[in-house]
Structure 1
Amino acid sequence: MYHHLHLGETTDDIKRKLNSLIRSGEITLGGYKKAKIYGRLNCSSGKRMKIENRVFFKDIGEAISHGYRPCGHCLPEAYRIWKAGKV
């Protein structure tokens, strides 16, 4: 798991490192650490969060292992399955 603010010293460093990790496949999902939700990197809900609350994951397994649940907006089927398991 990568914390957005821990990727570099300056905004430019963070952007460069983040782009590099995405291109290399080290990051495929984003997360909101306050609510422990993960979703796609292009999710409109995820893009609205403050950067200090953003985390990134390599895959779904990593997100789940950290206790995160799927986003209902960008991953509706995975969210429905998760929700059904919570009942």
Structure 2
Amino acid sequence: MIFHLSLGPDPDTRRRQLFSLIRAGKIKLGGYKKNKIYGLLNCASGKGMKVENRVFFKDENEALQAGYRPCARCLREAYKIWKSAH
């Protein structure tokens, strides 16, 4: 299941809650809603993404089950495998 979280009323609170979940290992991947792409949290492709287009996953299996594909930039090998199957 995609993380649909209420992280707080303001940007600073949301940022602190998100970092807490990442540190706890509950969030390991980020995704882009519009194109249904997931990747590493530190991927340069996701850095400029608008907050409202972000989703988070606990693992790769969760992202794939939600219909997202691997990022071709930060998850090249997973992307190649996905691409060859589609």
Structure 2 residue aligned with 1:55: 55
Shift of 1:7: 1.9
Give TM-score scaled by structure 2 length.
0.93
Mapped partners of 1:46, 1:35: distance in 2: 12
Over the matched positions of the two proteins, sequence identity in percent amounts to 62
More helix by share: 1
Structure 2 residue aligned with 1:30: 30
Shift of 1:2: 2.3
Gaps (5+ residues) in structure 1?
none
Q: Which amino acid aligns with 1:15?
A: R
Mapped partners of 1:72, 1:58: distance in 2: 19
Structure 1 residue aligned with 2:3: 2
Give TM-score scaled by structure 1 length.
0.92
RMSD (Å), alpha carbons: 1.2
Gaps (5+ residues) in structure 2?
none
Q: What is the number of residues matched between the two proteins?
A: 85
Q: Which amino acid aligns with 2:43?
A: C
